[in-house]
Amino acid sequence: MDSTPLWTLTDGNAGNRRQAQALADALDRGAVTDWVLQPHLPWSVSAPRSFAGAEHAFGASFARALEQPPPLAIGCGRQAALATRLLRDRGSKVVQILDPRIDTRHWDLVVAPEHDLLQGGNVITLLGSLNPVDDPWLDRARAAFAAFAALPQPRTALLLGGISSHARFDLDAFQPLAARLEAVLARDGGSLLVTTSRRTPADLLAAVRGRSFGVPGMVWCGEADGPNPYDGLLAWADRIVCSPDSVNMVSEASATAVPVFVSDPWRVSGRPRRFLDSMLALGRVREMDARLDPFQAQPLRETARVASLVRQRLAL
């Protein structure tokens, strides 16, 4: 087998890479080889289903690597699920993150969010998504973005997503959010730190840049604004406001120790709506209102729990 103890495998999607890497870091098995894979036709359509020739689905480099599989592999996403299947056939222990949409018996373990409603003897469920946010991570983020300490409190972090298959956070959704937030900031003062995502529409980006909230702070709308300060926002915020469209974003915000407010959860449907409903029922997040009153917040940190279960189940 490969001398590298652990491989992570994804399609390069930022959310998938972040979940795979978070679990790899939590398992702390030593050096990690990070594979970003794009299967060729027909496997790009059929993955994770496997048939003759599947070992060549990801090109010659990965086909050669299959000859020396690692002791442990972690995949995230449908495309990676084919790669982890191939590795298991060659002796690796494999963990697949997210519902592979076929029988889970093809993997040693499948880690899936509760809102996917996936069940099975080898399925580990969690609330939300895997992420790296814990106290040491937050300490490092505070050090990396130490300049945010000079901003007046309360520091409000505004995390904005965009349009997804289950939610439409667009300019029409942003305007009422911004109006409510302006009223809160007029009352409380403090500062505002805003970050957007790859899914934020262009007209919404322009509106964010053009909006004056009347308090000091910063706005990040892309690489032209410098390094992404997202980690620093989570680390320095006294409260966090999220658009409702991203399970990953709400999960990471909820792994901090500060109140989290989600704007208009009713805009979300399907599985992500089940997640938001669970978080609201738990009391870890609240629906954004015109006050943003503080509340006691218990950090939601599922990654360490999942890693412990993986160690037990795979005898690592």
The DSSP 8-state label assigned to residue 148 in this structure reads: G
For residues 272 and 167, is the Cβ–Cβ distance under 8 A?
yes
Residues 188 and 125 both lie in one domain: no
Q: What pLDDT does residue 270 have?
A: 95
- Is position 295 within any domain? no
Backbone angles phi, psi at 302, to 5 degrees: -90, -20
Q: What pLDDT does residue 50 have?
A: 87
What is the domain count for the chain? 2
Residues 55 and 139 both lie in one domain: no
Q: What pLDDT does residue 171 have?
A: 95
Query: Any idea what the CATH number is for the domain that residue 97 is in?
Result: 3.40.50
Residues 93 and 162 both lie in one domain: no
Distance, CA of 160 to CA of 157 (rounded, Å):
10
- Is position 1 within any domain? no
Q: Is 238 exposed, middle or buried (0-12, 13-18, 19+ CB in 10 A)?
A: middle
How do the pLDDT tens digits run along the chain, 316 residues long?
455 699 999 999 999 999 999 999 999 999 999 999 998 899 888 889 988 778 998 999 999 999 999 999 999 999 999 999 999 999 999 999 999 999 999 999 999 999 999 999 999 999 999 999 999 999 999 999 999 999 999 999 999 999 988 998 999 999 999 999 999 999 999 999 999 999 999 999 999 999 989 999 999 999 999 999 999 999 999 999 999 999 999 999 999 999 999 999 999 999 999 999 999 999 999 999 999 999 999 999 999 999 999 999 999 9
Strand partners, 125: 112
Domain encompassing residue 60: 6-131+304-314
Residues 27 and 111 both lie in one domain: yes
Q: Which residues contact 134 (CB under 8 A, 6 or more apart)?
A: 255, 301, 303, 304
* 33-50: burial string, b at 16+ Cβ within 10 Å, e else: bebebebeeebeeebbbb
Per the rule left: phi > 0, alpha: psi between -120 and 50, beta: everything else, 53 is left
- Is position 298 within any domain? no
Q: What pLDDT does residue 4 have?
A: 67
Residues 120 and 162 both lie in one domain: no
- Is position 296 within any domain? no
DSSP codes of every residue in 46-85: HTT---TTGGGTT-HHHHHHTTS--SEEEEESHHHHHHHH
Residues 265 and 308 both lie in one domain: no
Q: What pLDDT does residue 3 have?
A: 54
pTM confidence score? 0.94
Compute the CA torsion angle 109, 24, 261, 230 (nearest 10 deg). Answer: -150
CA dist 147 → 57, 188, 215, 238, 284 (Å): 47, 21, 16, 15, 28
Residues 165 and 273 both lie in one domain: yes
- Is position 293 within any domain? no
- Is position 116 within any domain? yes
Query: Any idea what the CATH number is for the domain that residue 247 is in?
Result: 3.40.50.2000
* Relative orientation angle of helices 302-314 and 14-27, to the nearest 10 degrees: 60
Q: Can you point out the beta strands (E) in the chain?
A: 6-10, 32-36, 72-76, 93-97, 109-113, 123-126, 155-159, 191-195, 217-220, 239-242, 260-262, 285-287
Residues 238 and 149 both lie in one domain: yes
Residues 126 and 167 both lie in one domain: no
Residues 145 and 113 both lie in one domain: no
Residues 108 and 195 both lie in one domain: no
Residues 86 and 192 both lie in one domain: no
- Is position 182 within any domain? yes
- Is position 170 within any domain? yes
Distance, CA of 276 to CA of 129 (rounded, Å):
12
